[in-house]
Amino acid sequence: MNLSIFVPTKNRFYYLSKLIKYYSSINFNGELIILDSSDDEIIENINKLIQSFKNLNIKLFHSFGLPCAMMKKYIDEASNDYVVFSGDDDYFVKKGLMDCIKFLEINPNFSGCNGEGICVHSSSKKNKIDYIDDYEQANINGINSMERINQQFNKYKVPIFSIFRKNYFKKFLEPVPTKEVFESSCPDKAIADEYIIEGAMVAYGNIHKLNSPYLVRHIHKERNIDNLVPDFKKDWINTPNFEKSKNYFFIKMSEIISKNDKIDIDQALKFFNEKFNIHLNYELKKEKKYILKIFLSKTLLKIRPIKNLRYFLKRNIFTDKKYSKIKTNKDYSLIINSIEGKI
Using DSSP, state whether 57 is helix, strand or coil. Answer: strand
Average pLDDT value for the chain = 90
**Residue 115 pLDDT level (bands cut at 50, 70, 90):** very high
Over residues 111-128, mean pLDDT:
92
Instruction: Kindly provide the residue ranges of all beta strands, DSSP E only, lying in 169-259, ordered along the sequence.
Output: 206-220
**Residue 288 pLDDT level (bands cut at 50, 70, 90):** confident
Going by C-alpha positions, the residue among 121, 117, 59, 120 that lies closest to residue 92 is 117
According to DSSP, the β-strands at 90-92 and 206-220 are: antiparallel
Going by C-alpha positions, the residue among 41, 53, 33 that lies closest to residue 13 is 41
Residue 291 has pLDDT above 70, yes or no: no
Using DSSP, state whether 206 is helix, strand or coil. Answer: strand
Residue 326 has pLDDT above 80, yes or no: yes
CA-to-CA separations, 246 to 84, 153, 249, in angstroms, rounded? 26, 15, 5
What b/e sequence results for 308-338 when a residue is b if at least 16 CB atoms lie within 10 Å of its CB, and e otherwise? eebbeebbeeebebebeebeeeebbebbbeb
Residue 236 has pLDDT above 90, yes or no: no
Residue 140 has pLDDT above 90, yes or no: yes
Residue 71 has pLDDT above 70, yes or no: yes
Per the model's pLDDT, the better-predicted residue between 36 and 318 turns out to be 36
Burial class (CB in 10 A: 0-12, 13-18, 19+), 231: exposed
Going by C-alpha positions, the residue among 118, 168, 165 that lies closest to residue 335 is 118
CA-to-CA separations, 185 to 132, 179, 189, in angstroms, rounded? 38, 10, 12
pLDDT digits over 247-276, tens only? 999 999 999 999 999 999 999 999 999 999
**The pLDDT value given to residue 199:** 98
**The pLDDT value given to residue 314:** 64
**The pLDDT value given to residue 325:** 84
**The pLDDT value given to residue 303:** 65
**The pLDDT value given to residue 227:** 46
Residue 307 has pLDDT above 70, yes or no: no
Start-to-end CA distance of the chain, whole Å, equals 23
Using DSSP, state whether 60 is helix, strand or coil. Answer: strand
Answer yes or no: are the C-beta atoms of 4 and 71 closer than 8 Å. Answer: no
**The pLDDT value given to residue 302:** 63
**The pLDDT value given to residue 124:** 77
Over residues 284-305, mean pLDDT:
65
Beta bridge partners of 62: 36
